[in-house]
Structure 1
Amino acid sequence: MNTALKYWKEAATLILAAGHRRGADCLSSTTLVTATPGSPLDSRSHLPHNPRFDYDILMLQRSSKSGFMPNAYVFPGGVVDSSDFSSEWLDIFKQLVDPPNFGLRNVRQHLETRPPIFATDRVKLGSPIPGEVAFRICALRETFEESGVLLVVSHQEKASLSRSMKDTCASHPLLDNEVKIPSTELSKWRTLVNENPSNFIRMCKELQVLPNIWALHEWSNWLTPVGRYGMSRFDTVFFICCLKDIPHTRHDEKEIVKYQWSTPSQILQSFQAEQFWIAPPQFYELSRMCQLPFLLDLHNFSSKRATEGCEHWLPVLSKDDHNRPVSLLPGDKLYSMDTSGESRQGMSAQDCGLHRMDRSALMIQTVTFDATPQLQIYNIYIDILNDHCVKVSFKCHRIVMVPVWSVSKNRPLMGNVSPKYGVLNHTATMK
């Protein structure tokens, strides 16, 4: 746990995807109205409607009393606790794996380009647990606290997991998360973990289970810009995990007041219909998933992509010609390296070197990309069937696709991406 950070608290979030098991009308603690093809909402939508999804994403609504993003729908997650870095985890994991990587796959990203949340030497901070392990523990613990979903490896499953870790060429199946622990026992431990995060260690010891850190794949890393959500700012790593079926879910009625299992496109459509609010990182990540409507494809993609590592993104706030707020991302033409999180330089409609989230209204966001990636992050372009869509075609050594939503529907976007990163060139044109 890095207590020396000046601006941000370290945190972890879990994007939890699960295959459909029941009808959509019984997957939620609340009702979600979505647009149907041809409806007025669908016809004016800037967001994709895709009925083909065979999986849902877990979204949790924060309490109105929350000090950070009250009432927002978020992925499960929270601030790292010192117990997530406790040396007691060494005894728990030693039955199966050893440090320093604890059976996790190696990331090919060079250490000097790794985000600080992973590159920081935790031994120098007094912990033998590396960030790659501790932040996965944090994401799993917070998911259990907030939603009741517990992702663990039982004593009986340890042998098969050990064999699969040794077979590095094997494709790992979707996680079948059947927790063979009585519901009363789970409820008891959930209460205890909510009271004190260190009880998560006690629970694993007494139930003889391991936090399933191997099912979580590194996805992205976002930092909170200045002045957006009160005084709190977070350096948050996003993981993703794919489950075969939707698990039993129950909100904690404290920090979380509702839960929702819905497809990425349904969530985005409902956001635009002003049924609820999601923050830009959730909007962005859900948009990435809209090109992977099948769970197995998402699982395979996220598993392979994770070995590439991720970039460290701090949105910088600016204004456009109409005084609307715009989030600039690393690689944008006007992106400022000033870590205060504010750009003192305005932008105009002619600035096309942008990977932007243009918030013309509370419930409308527009994203444009025309920038050089710092590494092959394997993003996914969004193909939206309306005149706000920009479709990007690539000639590349390896597939690198990015979210592309156009602010202007009247002009093409052109750009070159350095061959250093495996992409020869790209041209973005309007449909």
Structure 2
Amino acid sequence: MVMQGIGGRRLAATVLLVRDRIINGQSDVEVYIQERVSTMANFPRATVFPGGGVDSRDFADGHGKEVWRGPSAEDWALRLGVEPHVAYALVFAAIRELFEEAGTLLAEYTDGSGLVKDTSHFHDYRAQLETHEISLTDMLQKENLAIRSDLIVPFARWVSPEGNKGQFDTFSFIAEEPEGQWVDGDTSEASSTGYFPARLILDGWRAGLLRLVIPTWASLFELSQFRTVAQLMEFTENITVEPMFNEAIDNPRYAEFYQALRKERF
């Protein structure tokens, strides 16, 4: 079973969890971020979105249809440009990581009682998922749940340049905060978490208060162009997810990031 991305890189998934916010009488889009602890092997102290690597537990194990609702893995494969079994794993990894790190669960009850609105009684599963004691499929089956693949949308794909310490092929998704759910930062991977407008996060980076890597910076830059989640979601309907390699360096939209990076090095 193929578990690698382009050039043998590890597949990964991140989720931009967004919500509308009125600030000083003006609407804006807030996104949930976390600052990684200094002991993390990859991107220590960086400000990132919830996410992580795809692993074997994210692939279908014969129970795929039981725990999946919404557009199929085949539909997702067309949008992401990968094989259906890889698309399945990427969607599962995205939803699992979001639940592990933010306590937000994009799922519904299989008895027809609707979307999950209170995740507090599922809290103990988060640590078990993080330590690989169980898989998300195990949890879903035990609690009579199924993921909702229509509650996330593809946003971008970033491929680590050659020579980077961490070699990842990372797919980014966007999800709107589900009604009735509240995020929390109860994860061992983050020292601080919270919702902030993309513009404010970028201002913190400009002031030297935050560390951002280019995929995060670029995603924040794109988010900062929108004032409502509805506008953002309309934009994603026409997104083509193409792998982004070193060409980002020559993209004028990202010039500010690379100019700042060059100043740091010299």
Q: Shared topology, TM-score over 0.5? A: yes
Cα shift readout 1:90-122 (whole Å, capped 9, x = no counterpart)? 25247x579663xx4784x7xxxxx6xx33x4x
Q: Secondary structure at the match of 1:360?
A: helix
Residue correspondence of structure 1 range 83-98 to structure 2 within 5 A: 83-93=57-67
* Greater fraction strand: 2
Any conservation in 1 of the 2:70–2:150 contact (CA below 8 Å)? no
Query: In structure 1, what residue type is equivalent to 2:96?
Result: R
Q: Structure 2, unaligned stretches of length 5 or more?
A: none
Which residue of 103, 106, 122 maps to 1:186? 122
Residue correspondence of structure 1 range 54-69 to structure 2 within 5 A: 54-69=28-43
User: 2:95 is matched with which residue?
Assistant: 140
**C-alpha displacement of 1:249:** 2.0
Query: In structure 1, what residue type is equivalent to 2:2?
Result: N
**C-alpha displacement of 1:134:** 1.6
The structure 1 segments of at least 4 consecutive aligned residues displaced by more than 4 Å after TM superposition are 3-7, 96-100, 104-107, 362-365
Residue correspondence of structure 1 range 6-405 to structure 2 within 5 A: 6-20=7-21, 52-93=26-67, 101=74, 104=75, 107=78, 118-119=81-82, 121=83, 130-157=85-112, 179-181=117-119, 183=120, 185-196=121-132, 198-228=134-164, 231-243=165-177, 247-302=181-236, 304-306=237-239, 309-315=240-246, 327-328=249-250, 356-357=254-255, 359-362=258-261
**C-alpha displacement of 1:327:** 2.2
Q: Give the distance between the partners of 2:33 and 2:49, measured in 1 at CA.
A: 5
Any conservation in 2 of the 1:74–1:282 contact (CA below 8 Å)? yes
After TM superposition, the score normalised by the length of structure 1 is 0.54
After TM superposition, the score normalised by the length of structure 2 is 0.84
Q: Secondary structure at the match of 2:226?
A: coil
Any conservation in 2 of the 1:53–1:263 contact (CA below 8 Å)? no
Q: Give the distance between the partners of 1:8 and 1:52, measured in 2 at CA.
A: 42
Any conservation in 2 of the 1:221–1:235 contact (CA below 8 Å)? yes
Q: Structure 1, unaligned stretches of length 5 or more?
A: 25-49, 110-114, 122-128, 161-176, 317-325, 330-353, 366-431
* Greater fraction helix: 2
Q: Give the distance between the partners of 2:45 and 2:199, measured in 1 at CA.
A: 20
Q: Give the distance between the partners of 2:174 and 2:158, measured in 1 at CA.
A: 14
Judged with a 3 Å threshold, the aligned counterparts in structure 2 of structure 1 residues 197 and 328 are, in CA distance, closer, same or farther, namely farther
Q: Give the distance between the partners of 1:86 and 1:357, measured in 2 at CA.
A: 41
Choose 4-13 or 199-208, whichever is displaced more.
4-13
Cα shift readout 1:350-373 (whole Å, capped 9, x = no counterpart)? xxxx565353335989xxxxxxxx
Q: Give the distance between the partners of 1:205 and 1:269, measured in 2 at CA.
A: 43
Q: Secondary structure at the match of 1:327?
A: helix
Q: Give the distance between the partners of 1:97 and 1:18, measured in 2 at CA.
A: 21
Any conservation in 2 of the 1:71–1:277 contact (CA below 8 Å)? yes
**C-alpha displacement of 1:251:** 2.1
Query: CA RMSD, aligned part only?
Result: 3.2
Judged with a 3 Å threshold, the aligned counterparts in structure 2 of structure 1 residues 105 and 152 are, in CA distance, closer, same or farther, namely same
Q: Give the distance between the partners of 2:259 and 2:149, measured in 1 at CA.
A: 39
Q: Secondary structure at the match of 1:130?
A: helix
Cα shift readout 1:256-288 (whole Å, capped 9, x = no counterpart)? 221120111111111111221111111111111
Judged with a 3 Å threshold, the aligned counterparts in structure 2 of structure 1 residues 210 and 295 are, in CA distance, closer, same or farther, namely same
Query: In structure 1, what residue type is equivalent to 2:61?
Result: S
**C-alpha displacement of 1:246:** 8.2
Q: Larger C-alpha radius of gyration, 1 or 2?
A: 1
